[in-house]
Amino acid sequence: MGASAIPTVLTPLSGEQAEAMSQRQIKKHHVAIVLLHWFNATSWLLELATGAGLIVSPYYRFAPVWYLQTMEGIFGSRANMLRFHEAVGLTWITVFLVYAIFGFRNYLRIEVLQHEIGLDADDLRWLKVRTLLLLGQTKEPLPPQGVYNAGQKLFALLVYTMIPLIMLTGLTMTFHWFGAAMVAWAMILHFFAVGTIVSGLMIHVYMGAVFPEEKPAFYSMITGTVDELYAYRHHFKWWRAVKVQEQMWREELRAQEESDALSTEEKPDSNPGTDRAPR
């Protein structure tokens, strides 16, 4: 089957086709992406847990008293909690920047700019149709999507917009850059940026870990793969690109094998037999 035989539009599958596709896996994430994802998740969990315990003043507190007492009991004091919060934040910044610098060509340029946040016409249409579906105003099928759908791209765009602000304001507060007034503004902007990401993170976690249709996407952050049926139904453009690439690879391999076989047949015998005179 050539690349031209691969469907160009999403079509219904027979039961046998769906069952066969559900048994095959497609690689979605490299090991480095999986590791970075869970490193980020762990860092954010620790930062949010300690950050909530640090937002306390004579006039306002973010978390209930029992939570503050529990966190102070774990760390011994709010000063130790702050040191831990800063240490985790600095570690997160360092790892993130190192990965971004050394992985710019394969990660930031391709994975992020093209796949994670690059919106095309199908993505914009997806957002409109998805909204109308939620409101019960249409029965139009969702447009085909790439490796990430438009909702995931919007969340990624939000995260990558806020991350530099979180890093800069966090460093300003940690090292008291530019004076007390700037530190006070940095604190406000830091809370704003973190709160913005957390608001999207709640939807992200729900869609990935709870929403049944997106469970394969959640498990792909553990295994690195999704089943082909999920890819076909939810990320058709990506599925087709993968199948086309696989078919091209098979054709190249077949052509190479035929070329090698032909070369072997045409190669002259390097050790011909010699006639011997009778004794």
Q: What is the pLDDT of residue 32?
A: 82
Q: How far is CA 274 from CA 11, 15, 46, 267, 271, in A?
A: 66, 65, 81, 19, 9
Helix, strand, coil tally for the chain in percent (to 5): 75, 5, 25
Residue pair 46/61 in contact by the 8 Å Cβ criterion: no
**pTM (whole model) above 0.75:** yes
Burial 23-36 (b: 16+ CB within 10 A, else e): eeebebbeeebbeb
Burial 249-270 (b: 16+ CB within 10 A, else e): eeeeeeeeeeeeeeeeeeeeee
Q: What is the pLDDT of residue 203?
A: 83
Residue 278 has pLDDT above 90, yes or no: no
What pairs with residue 227 in β-bridges? 25
Residue 165 has pLDDT above 90, yes or no: yes
| Ordered structural domains, the chain, with CATH | 18-257 (1.20.950.20)
Residues 35-62 have pLDDT tens digits of: 888 999 999 999 999 999 998 877 788 8
Q: Cα-Cα-Cα-Cα dihedral of 132, 135, 138, 141, to 10°? A: 60
Cβ neighbours, 10 Å, residue 176: 12
Residues 197-251 have pLDDT tens digits of: 999 888 888 777 777 778 888 899 999 999 999 999 999 999 999 999 988 898 8
Q: What is the pLDDT of residue 63?
A: 86
Residues 104-140 have pLDDT tens digits of: 666 666 677 777 888 899 999 999 999 999 899 998 9
Provide the percentage of residues in the chain whose pLDDT is more than 90: 51
Average pLDDT of the residues in 6-18: 89
